[in-house]
A and B are shown apart, each in its own frame.
Chain A
Amino acid sequence: AQSVTQPDIHITVSEGASLELRCNYSYGATPYLFWYVQSPGQGLQLLLKYFSGDTLVQGIKGFEAEFKRSQSSFNLRKPSVHWSDAAEYFCAVGYNNNDMRFGAGTRLTVKP
């Protein structure tokens, strides 16, 4: 069965430090890959997505993610974290039957 794994439940980084959030998926083919961000009590906002082509994708708010087929991974990165980045981040995979599945999420805390 298709699944998405975000190994880190909670990550704390200092403001200005770099960030990497991990995501692994299991599926026979390359799915569509997404990262979403959620502020408390709100819906989800799309940060970036990958369908095909260049495996390094740029998103909003200075985020980027790299698709690595050999590792079935799609890790999210940001070179310098801002206090406003504190939120919950979800990795998701989508398939051509419109079935989209999400990871359990990683909560990011930013220390001043």
Chain B
Amino acid sequence: DGGITQSPKYLFRKEGQNVTLSCEQNLNHDAMYWYRQDPGQGLRLIYYSQIVNDFQKGDIAEGYSVSREKKESFPLTVTSAQKNPTAFYLCASSDITGTEAFFGQGTRLTVV
């Protein structure tokens, strides 16, 4: 089945550690996105990528980094510079027209 897979579903991290969230899609989509979701704030765009080896910052990119070495993969690293990383993270992808985004099931990151 085609879709987007995020892993892990739950992730715990100690303060000061970097952590990488995985996002893989087999929809042959060119564009991929990372969003952060906090209660009452909807989805906020962290980074997006329209093509391999290229990506753009969204509204809240500080403390995060991404790579896009392969079309199907768009991992997100939450660095120790992110002041409040505990949140629900959603990955999405769309074709080049951007006419519909498909979402993964999310990763809930908790800093302990």
Residues 32-44 of chain B: 1 if any A CB is under 8 Å from the residue's CB, otherwise 0?
A: 0101000011111
- Most B-side CB within 10 Å, residue of A9, A97, A103: A97
Compute the total of residue contacts between A and B using a CB distance below 8 Å: 69
Out of A9, A100, A105, name the residue touching B98 (CB < 8 Å). Answer: A100
Give the CA-CA distance A102 to B45 in the complex, in Å: 9
Residues 11-48 of chain B: 1 if any A CB is under 8 Å from the residue's CB, otherwise 0?
A: 00000000000000000000101010000111111001
B50 in contact with A103 (CB, 8 Å): no
B31 in contact with A98 (CB, 8 Å): yes
A99 in contact with B48 (CB, 8 Å): yes
B87 at the interface (CB under 8 A from A): no
| Main SS at interface, chain B | strand
Given contacts A97-B50, A97-B98, A102-B35, 20 further A-B contacts (CB under 8 A): A6-B42, A34-B101, A41-B88, A41-B106, A42-B105, A43-B90, A43-B103, A43-B106, A44-B43, A44-B90, A44-B101, A90-B43, A94-B99, A96-B97, A98-B98, A100-B45, A100-B94, A101-B45, A105-B40, A105-B42
